Amino acid sequence: MVISKTPLRMSFFGGGSDFEQYFKKSKFGYGSTIGTTIDMYVYITVNKRFDGRIRLVYNESELVDSVEEIKHNIIRNALKIVGIEGGVEIIYMADMPIAGVGIGLASSSALSVGVLNALHAYKGEYVTKDQLAKEACHLEIDMMGQPIGIQDQNAVAHGGFNRYRFYKDGSIGVEPVICDNETIQKLKSNLMLFFTGITRDSGTVLGEQKSNIDDRIKQLDDLVVSVDEAYSHLNIKDIDIWGEMFDKAWQTKKMLANKISNKEIDKMYNDAMNAGALGGKVLGAGGGGFLLMYVPKENQKDVKEALSDYKLVDFSFDSFGTQIIFKN
């Protein structure tokens, strides 16, 4: 039996510049994002099955004779990549819903990376985090045809608080954010995460965003610049400016596609700002999922009351990427 544990991620700046269509021709020579993994996880269990069949358990249950019969796209394709044809039982569970619902925390990519990690370990194969991220990108983008970028797969594979650069030649730079613990803790304590209650097909939002890339180069360039600015402000312990930067980046991001925001999200955002938030953003593709707001401690009670109809979610930063936590 093998069990993998893979974190979800919270992207702060640069989302959208991780599309190949952008970074392959970026004037900077790369796209860039900055973000962290958080203490919410996807767990995958893989165990040998005596009769040669394949059993899957998630929000549904499947029992099939061959890989081609599997309905679950991610697991079917992961089995193909790793080369397992039968005789396994795969069970997955998560701290957040991941059954085809877009929540903005990279849950689908965490599932892809986690399943690949567990299946490789089941076969006795060691693979690097770089390889897991590449395989997950191939699975989601090439095999499944998802209109997505490549930050999520790398973020959940590597884990931690990092700045990523996606270069024209296909290489990826992973640079840990290095600053004192007090600064990180202040940043964390000033972030409030609310569940909008709105779920959406992220592929629809991202599909429109992808089709608009050639007409939104200026906005994407601005988002790349914001990554380095945010990184530099952490180094000098200038944290509150992140709130203002969130607001600027959110206004820019909304220009990338029509469905990134909506009336309810706009009202949530404006109510939070009027109650003392300095800025924020919807995580992931937009259109629903989680709203992240930067709020100084003295204003957090007022913001919580202003958004009392929405669930406030506690979280911490995670320092590790995907891991095998049990192998027997």
Backbone angle region of 310, left / alpha / beta, with phi > 0 → left and psi within -120 to 50 → alpha: beta
* pLDDT value of position 198: 79
Residue with tokens 């989601």: 140
State the Cα torsion 157-159-163-164 to the nearest 10°.
0
Of 253, 154, 262, 140, whose CA–CA distance to 199 is shortest? 262
Question: The CATH number of the domain where 147 resides is what?
Answer: 3.30.230.10
- Three-state DSSP at 267 gives helix
Q: What angle do CA 148, 151, 157 make, to 5 degrees?
A: 120
157 and 225 in one domain? no
Taking only the tens place, the pLDDT of each residue in 187-220 is 999 999 999 987 665 566 667 778 878 888 999 9
Question: In 3-state terms, the chain is what percent helix, strand and coil (to 5)?
Answer: 40, 25, 35
Taking only the tens place, the pLDDT of each residue in 107-126 is 999 999 999 999 999 999 99
173 and 38 in one domain? yes
Taking only the tens place, the pLDDT of each residue in 225-269 is 999 999 999 988 889 999 999 999 999 988 887 778 889 999 999
Single residue among 115, 150, 178 that ends a domain in this structure: 178
Please report whether residue 324 resides in a domain.
no
Contacts (Cβ under 8 Å, ≥6 apart) of 170: none
Please report whether residue 153 resides in a domain.
yes
301 and 272 in one domain? yes
Question: What is the residue-averaged pLDDT of the chain?
Answer: 93
- Three-state DSSP at 213 gives helix
Please report whether residue 326 resides in a domain.
no
226 and 162 in one domain? no
275 and 147 in one domain? no
* pLDDT value of position 189: 97
Could you give the percent of the chain with pLDDT greater than 90?
A: 83
* pLDDT value of position 103: 75
CA–CA separation, 142 and 286 (whole Å): 23
160 and 185 in one domain? no
* pLDDT value of position 200: 60
202 and 86 in one domain? no
How many domains, the chain?
2
In which band, very low, low, confident or very high, does the pLDDT at 98 lie, cut at 50, 70 and 90?
Answer: low
Please provide the DSSP assignment of 48-84 as one string.
E-TTS-EEEESSSEEEESSGGG---HHHHHHHHHHT-
Q: Residue 262, Cα to own-chain centre: how many angstroms?
A: 21
Taking only the tens place, the pLDDT of each residue in 13-66 is 999 999 999 999 999 999 999 999 999 999 999 999 999 999 999 999 999 999
12 and 160 in one domain? yes
28 and 112 in one domain? yes
Taking only the tens place, the pLDDT of each residue in 153-168 is 999 999 999 999 999 9
Please report whether residue 323 resides in a domain.
no
Question: The CATH number of the domain where 291 resides is what?
Answer: 3.30.70.890
Q: Which helix (H) or strand (E) holds 192?
A: strand 191-195
246 and 147 in one domain? no
* pLDDT value of position 55: 98
Main-chain phi, psi angles of 150, to 5 degrees:
-125, 10
Please provide the DSSP assignment of 145-172 as one string.
-----SHHHHHHHH-SEEEEEEETTS-E
Structural domain span for residue 74: 2-178
What is the gyration radius of the CA atoms in the chain, in angstroms? 20
* pLDDT value of position 204: 63
* pLDDT value of position 100: 47
**Mean pLDDT, to the nearest integer, of 291-306?**
98
